[in-house]
Amino acid sequence: MGATRAYAWKLPGVSVTLEVSAATDRGLVRRTNEDSHLATPPVFLVADGMGGHSFGDRASQATARVFATRLAREEFPTIAEVLDAVREADRVVQTIGEDEVAGSTLAGLALVVDGSSSEPRWMVFNVGDSRIYRWDDGLEQLTVDHSAVQELLDEGVIGPADVRDHPERNVVTRAIGVGDAEPDVWILPTGGRERFLICSDGLTKELDDATIREVLNASGDDSPADRLVSAALAAGGLDNVTVIVIEAVVTRHDAEDSDDIGSPVPARLEDTMPRG
């Protein structure tokens, strides 16, 4: 279902290529899929809806739709535009469900530009417990969940081993549509080859980091996103599961010969050594 798609941009002084795969499944137990996602460069997001009746899927769809309408275009958005979209999604979802609360998580990744600089950067933003990982040799979780369990972890009340079966593990403390959709934001430099994974908690509740890494590093005819969703279903598929995998190569070259895509800059230059 989620074939890998390739995209390329050529901007003054920099070229960007992306390979993207996305997959979602309602799981083996739930009757509806309340997850939505958007995998249209330069914006990627996973939204996991919550609320009774059909409010959950409406909430996550509305969230994805706001971003699709505002930001699915060729031009990289600014950070402010992405934040505006988060606020707009919060406003729109608040109108769903009236007295009954509808809400959605939001884990997003966007290529953004900032003010006068044309330099593309990664913007990572999250509300709730959907996650973004950077996947290199290891798997590094970039986002920090807004969840009751995360707060208990931070306070040292419980340990990592207690998370999986904790009764509050499905309780989020921030959500789109509840009126406190202040996202946490990371702005990261682009450069070289970088790989990201965006997922709903239906993936991370079924598969631990080691398994996710193993599935990502395996090869096969299926796209990486399809492989992860299949693995989550095989592990139980108790919740909706949605995955987007993004492989990016950002290459800088002199603005003068912008037609020439130079060789990639050394990936992740190490920090400078102190001057002698």
Partner 1 sequence: MLPDHRYLASSDGWIFLCREDLVLGIDPLAEGLVGLLWPLVRDGAPTASVLDELTRGGISSAPGFLLLEAAAGIWRVLARGAGRVEFPGLDIDAVDGSTASAWSESLAPSGAVLRCVTPGAPGATTPWAVRVGIVRASEFVLGDENVPTAGSDDLDAGPTAPVIEAPKSSRSRVIPRPPGSPSPGEDPGLGITISSLETTAIEPLESALDEAAPGSGTEHADYDHLFGETVTRSVEGAAVRGAEDHDGGSPLEDRTKVATDLAERRALRRAAKAAGASEAPPAGPRFTLDLSTGGREPLEGVVIVGRAPSANRVAGGEVPRLLTMSTPNQDISRTHVQIALAGGTVVVTDLHSSNGTFVVLPGQPPQRLRAGESKTVVVGTVIDLGDGATLTLREES
Q: Which is nearer to partner 1, 101 or 215 (CB)?
A: 101
Span from 23-31, 132-140, 207-215 in contact with partner 1 (CB under 8 A): 23-31
Q: How far is the CB of 210 from partner 1 (least distance, A)?
A: 21
CA angle 196, 198, 199 (to 5 degrees): 145
User: Burial level of 20, CB count in 10 A (0-12/13-18/19+)?
Assistant: buried
Distance in Å, CB of 43 to partner 1, minimum: 10
Contacts 24+ apart (CB under 8 A), 114-117: 114/78, 114/79, 114/187, 115/78
Residue with smaller CB distance to partner 1, 42 or 213: 42
> Residue from 233, 238, 247, 261 that binds partner 1 (CB under 8 A)?
238
Candidate ranges 72-80, 131-139, 207-215; the one touching partner 1 (CB under 8 A): 72-80
Determine, following the binding rule CB under 8 A, whether residue 186 of this chain makes contact with partner 1: yes
**Token pair of 259 as six digits:** 């037609």
Q: Return the number of the residue (33 or 251) whose C-beta is nearest partner 1.
A: 33
CA angle at 28 for the pair 24 and 32, rounded to the nearest 5°: 60
Residue 95 tokens read as 């109108």
Side chain identity at residue 72, one-letter code = A
- What tokens appear for 229 in the block? 């969703």
Site size toward partner 1 (CB under 8 A) is: 100
Among 133, 207, 215, 223, binds partner 1 (CB under 8 A): 223
Exactly one of 92, 158, 170, 211 binds partner 1 (CB under 8 A); which one? 170
Q: Which of 103, 109, 203, 227 binds partner 1 (CB under 8 A)?
A: 103
With CB under 8 A as the contact rule, the residue among 105, 163, 229, 250 that binds partner 1 is: 105
Helix/strand/coil for 154 = helix
How far are the Cα atoms of 28, 108, 226 from residue 2, in angstroms, in the given order?
19, 18, 6
Taking CB under 8 A as the criterion, which residues in 49-68 touch partner 1?
50, 52-54, 57-58, 61, 64-65, 68
* Residue 128 vs 227, nearer CB to partner 1: 128
Q: Which of 108, 121, 229, 249 binds partner 1 (CB under 8 A)?
A: 121
Q: Are 3 and 21 in contact (CB under 8 A)?
A: yes
Tell me, rounded to whole angstroms, the distance of Cα 205 from its chain centroid: 16
Interacting residue with partner 1 among 7, 230, 235, 261 (CB under 8 A): 7
61 versus 216: smaller Cβ distance to partner 1: 61
With CB under 8 A as the contact rule, the residue among 109, 202, 212, 224 that binds partner 1 is 202
Alpha-carbon span 54 to 58, nearest angstrom = 6
The reply to whether 269 sits near partner 1 by the rule CB under 8 A is yes
Q: Does 230 bind partner 1 (CB under 8 A)?
A: no
The SS3 assignment for 118 reads: strand
Length of the chain counted residue by residue: 276
The one segment of 25-33, 132-140, 212-220 that binds partner 1 by CB under 8 A = 25-33
Both tokens of 5, joined, read 């798609």
